[in-house]
Amino acid sequence: MSDAPAPFTGPVDHVDPAVIADYLGRTRWFGGKGRPFEVSQVYRIGHVPGTAEGGPVAVLNHLVELTYADVPAGAAEGEDGEQAVEVYQVPLAFYTDAESRLEHAFIGWWEEPGLGWVHVYDAVHDREAMAAWQRTFFDAYETGEAHDAASGLTFRRLPGYEIDPDARASLFSGEQSNSTVMFGEDAILKVFRKLTPGRNPDIEIHEVLTRAGCANVAALYGWIDWTHPRTGEIWQLSMLQQFLRTASDGWDLALNSVRTLFSDPETRASASGGDFAGEATRLGEALREVHDTLAEHFGTSEKDAGALAALMGRRLGAAAAVVPALEEHREGLLRTFGAVADQGLLTTQRVHGDLHLGQTLRTSLGWKIVDFEGEPAKTLAERVLPDSPWRDVAGMLRSFDYAPRVVERTWSEDDPEGTEARQARAAEWANRAKNHFLVAYTGGEVTEAQRTLLDAYVADKAVYETVYETRNRPTWVDIPLQAVAEIGES
């Protein structure tokens, strides 16, 4: 363990909040870009044990509290549900001298009590700093946990999976809302960025599915808890998981399949070399198994169908405030939601909550579903609520609709004349994937009531996507808007 300075826990006054704010604005994972914010507090949550010679003089983890000025003072959230205060995890590696190899992850330099002037870097970019995490996880194996009393950090391990304490750490290139570090080719550490106290659904669900031996997820190896010294709340910081070495992203595979189809529009989707129906079938089977295991271990509950229809209607109202183009489809959408209202009590359970092809990985041993954190914009309390499994099914159906439309966006620039022919193939591809997926998921026929419920979830998801695209990729908003229009007309 290093000679890191005390205290390990508490507000940090000597770090300039503007330096941290500037760094957040430069990262991919910070979701508050574009909103007016200030860093209202930097809170130190302890040092990571296991640092070694040649590495940083200390690895100190921090929670950064942000306050947004676009929510009226005193309110917890704004009109569109955006939160007034958010907390992000920022682990820092401290070096006495500048480390040129880490220039891209440089945050600032300041005088650190007990350490003197230090150069400070985002620790997830530093293999030496991340090796400290890995060594501590390794030490935790025998007992199942390594608790560092000084810092309040607890490294937990599940039995049955060994990790190499010397494997090289490297940051995963595709970081999105979190940061993922690979340890050799065996394990990955997902460092959650936006945090809330309480059980993290990604860890919770992976633990249940791993202990149940479910083959359709990456096995959970361990995770890190931090106990707030004053409130006693548990904050879950990171998740250690099996690295799926042979994985190909489901979304990329689907796009490739559509490209193969479009390159020869004379050939029907069923005869195309890139046919996706078989994969869609296997995906449906995988989701069925995951849902069954979740229902078995977390149990099921019931939800009033009328309340669900009303909730979807309210979500539409909030979305229309952000995307005015939804207004003209309001009637048709409300009809679709309203059709479920007389279904009495619906069965609900823990679900993925934000399932799409980008959350699926095809490995040599079949499909794996990742990222059980739920919709990123929702609060934790909302994300862990039981919901109908049809929400996840609808997410996948929307994704099958997206894939050909995304390919067409760029294809049509080079070949505008072929649009009509490709449209027919695109519809064929999407319908084929949807049908195969559904048949595999249900094991046969979809009843009329199930179809009505599914249609409502598909419409609800498409409405959500219009907001997501408006905020994140405005040039894509036509994709879900077109779906909304088709639903509204039907």
Ligand X SMILES: Nc1ncnc2c1ncn2[C@@H]1O[C@H](COP(=O)(O)OP(=O)(O)O)[C@@H](O)[C@H]1O
- Residue of 128, 204, 225, 354 interacting with ligand LMANGFYV (CB under 6 A): 354
The distance of closest approach from Cβ of residue 264 to ligand LMANGFYV in the complex, given in angstroms and rounded to an integer, is 24
In terms of CB distance, is 57 or 361 closer to ligand X? 361
- Residue of 54, 74, 160, 174 interacting with ligand X (CB under 6 A): 174
Which x/- pattern over 362-381 shows residues binding ligand X (rule: CB under 6 A)?
Answer: --------xx-x--------
478 binding ligand LMANGFYV? (CB under 6 A): no
Binding partner of 192, given ligand X, ligand LMANGFYV, none, CB within 5-8 angstroms per partner class: none
Give me the count of residues in the chain. Answer: 490
Amino acid found at 4: A
The distance of closest approach from Cβ of residue 429 to ligand LMANGFYV in the complex, given in angstroms and rounded to an integer, is 14
Q: Which two tokens stand for residue 266?
A: 């004379």
In terms of CB distance, is 15 or 219 closer to ligand X? 219
Binding partner of 465, given ligand LMANGFYV, ligand X, none, CB within 5-8 angstroms per partner class: ligand LMANGFYV
Collapsed DSSP state (helix, strand, coil) of residue 333: helix
303 forms beta bridges with 346
Please give the residues from 11 up to 50 whose contact with ligand LMANGFYV meets the rule CB under 6 A: none
372 binding ligand LMANGFYV? (CB under 6 A): no
128 binding ligand LMANGFYV? (CB under 6 A): no
For 86-148, the DSSP string reads EEEE--EEEESS--GGGGGGEEEEEEETTTEEEEEEEGGG-HHHHHHHHHHHHHTTTTSEEEE
Binding partner of 356, given ligand LMANGFYV, ligand X, none, CB within 5-8 angstroms per partner class: ligand LMANGFYV
* Number of residues counted as binding ligand X (CB under 6 A): 19
402 binding ligand LMANGFYV? (CB under 6 A): yes
Write 269-277 long-range contacts (CB < 8 A, 24+).
Answer: 269/425, 269/428, 269/429, 269/432, 270/428, 270/432, 275/432, 276/429, 276/432, 276/433, 277/432, 277/433, 277/436
Binding partner of 398, given ligand LMANGFYV, ligand X, none, CB within 5-8 angstroms per partner class: ligand LMANGFYV
Q: What is the Cα–Cα distance from 341 to 334, expressed in whole angstroms? A: 11
Virtual torsion, Cα 467, 473, 479, 480, nearest 10 deg: -10
86 binding ligand LMANGFYV? (CB under 6 A): no
- How many Cβ atoms sit within 10 Å of the Cβ of residue 304? 14
Interface region with ligand LMANGFYV, contact rule CB under 6 A, candidates 22-30, 130-138, 398-406, 428-436? 398-406
For residues 458 and 487, the answer to whether their CB atoms sit within 8 Å is: yes
Q: How far is CA 117 from CA 4, 111, 120, in A?
A: 13, 4, 10
Amino acid found at 273: G
- Residue of 8, 68, 226, 251 interacting with ligand LMANGFYV (CB under 6 A): 251
For residues 452 and 339, the answer to whether their CB atoms sit within 8 Å is: yes
176 binding ligand X? (CB under 6 A): yes
Strand ranges, E, within 433-487: none
177 binding ligand LMANGFYV? (CB under 6 A): yes
Q: What is the Cα–Cα distance from 192 to 245, expressed in whole angstroms? A: 21
HSE, side-chain direction, 13 A CA sphere, residue 346: 25
Parallel/antiparallel/unpaired status of strands 169-171 and 179-183: antiparallel
- Residue of 274, 353, 358, 389 interacting with ligand X (CB under 6 A): 358
260 binding ligand X? (CB under 6 A): no
In terms of CB distance, is 23 or 476 closer to ligand LMANGFYV? 476
In terms of CB distance, is 67 or 177 closer to ligand LMANGFYV? 177
Site of interaction with ligand LMANGFYV (CB under 6 A): 176-177, 251, 354, 356-358, 371, 375-376, 398-399, 402, 465, 468
